Structure 1
Amino acid sequence: MKIVCSFCKNTFLFNFARINFEKLNFLAHIYLSGNNDLLKIGNFIADTVRGKQYLHYPEMMQKGILLHRKIDTFTDEHPIFRRSKKRLITEFGHYSGVIVDIFYDYFLAKNWQTYSKMPLNEYVEKFYALLQEHKHLLNERANYLIYYMIKENWLESYQTVQGIEKIFYQMDRRTDFRSKMQFAPQFLQNNETDFEQDFFQFFSDISKEINVLLIDK
């Protein structure tokens, strides 16, 4: 059975499929970048930059791109992240990792006050302004992503189940509904305590790891 949702005619639906991103866990990457603007931007655009193309960017953006890759490697190899994936594997197969990424961003947004003194809406607005200020440094793919991310306010949408329902529906649609990702929010609600405990443990570990890397920069 396919869900018929009220947002299916939203412009987001038609534009989302044109952005070929496997992951949409932007909020954690941005937060873990610390306070350096160019480092933060580099981390954010990293999935639009292939191989050694990162060398074409300013030094701090290069470091941000490389930081993004280290975060991805740390995440994929972490036993708690793998435990979260294991809960999903029967229902969602190889899409489980993508789903956990978004679950963890949901928990970060939901518990934002635990990690930042700045309200989420203010943090997001400042980041959007930062991207627009530096869009001349970014590639076409990144600027396309940014346009629709700001237009649809993706980052704030992570803080509610309704917001991630929208994201998962679009991702499922891109797979012709084979992935069943539209049902991931219901799975989350049925197992929210377990996933939230995973998130808190994992995020504590990755924050410590990344803080060491940022000190070394």
Structure 2
Amino acid sequence: MNYLAHLHLSGESEKMLVGNFIGDYIKGNKYLQYDEEIAKGILLHRQIDSFTDFHPLQREARLMFRHEFGLYSGIVVDFIYDHFLAKNWDQYSTIRLPVFAKRVHAILLSHFNTLPLRVQGFLPFLIQHKRLLSYASVDGIIQSLKIMGKHSSLPSKSEEVETILLENYTELETNFAAFFTELIDFISGKQGVEIKKPDLSNC
């Protein structure tokens, strides 16, 4: 999963949110160097990634991008899942996305000195350009992939991503909805993280 999903799945704990956000940058047992609650967030990040990587629905989505992106198709799907989460945010959260993003920014800034140097380097950009909010649009996701393509080994094929996404939009959105429901149940059950859900019974 990408940033927005990891942040949402951190529950109410600020330190677990910090740990979940930096999880990709803490390797091996280096999580032991952190505050216990942040360490829990790092381990939660790994559990989310493991659940995602081996889930048949995520594999199904990856197949749509496998020809163009090979082993990087999972990264592309992570971004696309964040798009559908942001687009349908009110179905998964009790607070509005702009409010959530502002809370996240404040928490991460308050723990700035705890963040790995690479995260310190890109956090101001993420905040200034409102990346979490931008995920709600297809253009926002494509722009994020373009940026990542410039700073990583991800193939710079954002136009291909947009084409595949738009051609399979309904199928991918249905895929995400089914997958994310199972992921929330996994986090709430086996990991014991409380994810507050909106009451959709009157919708």
Q: In structure 1, what is the equivalent of residue 148 of structure 2? A: 171
Q: Quote how far apart the aligned CAs of 1:50 are.
A: 1.6
Report the number of matched residues: 194
Residues 85 and 96 in structure 1, CA contact (< 8 A), matched pair in contact too: yes
Moved more, 88-97 or 27-36: 88-97
Give the counterpart letter for 2:145 in structure 1. Answer: F
Q: Quote how far apart the aligned CAs of 1:175 are.
A: 6.2
Distance 1:94 1:38, change over 3 A: same
Q: In structure 1, what is the equivalent of residue 39 of structure 2? A: 62
Q: In structure 2, what is the equivalent of residue 109 of structure 1? A: 86
Post-superposition Cα deviations, 1:88-125, rounded to whole Å, max 9, x if no partner, equal: 21232222111100010000000001011211011000
Residues 40 and 61 in structure 1, CA contact (< 8 A), matched pair in contact too: yes
Post-superposition Cα deviations, 1:120-174, rounded to whole Å, max 9, x if no partner, equal: 0110001101111111222222211212211221111100011112112223334
TM-score (norm 1): 0.83
CA distance in 1, matches of 2:154, 2:52: 26
Q: In structure 1, what is the equivalent of residue 57 of structure 2? A: 80
Q: In structure 2, what is the equivalent of residue 44 of structure 1? A: 21
Q: Quote how far apart the aligned CAs of 1:176 are.
A: 8.1
- Secondary structure of the 2:190 match is helix
* Aligned residue among 95, 100, 111 for 1:134: 111
* Aligned residue among 137, 141, 144 for 1:160: 137
Residues 92 and 179 in structure 1, CA contact (< 8 A), matched pair in contact too: no
Q: In structure 2, what is the equivalent of residue 29 of structure 1? A: 6
TM-score (norm 2): 0.89
CA distance in 1, matches of 2:93, 2:193: 22
1:150 matches 2:96:
no
Q: Quote how far apart the aligned CAs of 1:178 are.
A: 4.4
After superposing on structure 2, the runs of 4+ consecutive aligned residues of structure 1 that deviate more than 3 Å are 172-179
Aligned positions of 1:85-100 closer than 5 A: 85-100=62-77
Distance 1:173 1:134, change over 3 A: closer
Give the counterpart letter for 2:20 in structure 1. Answer: N
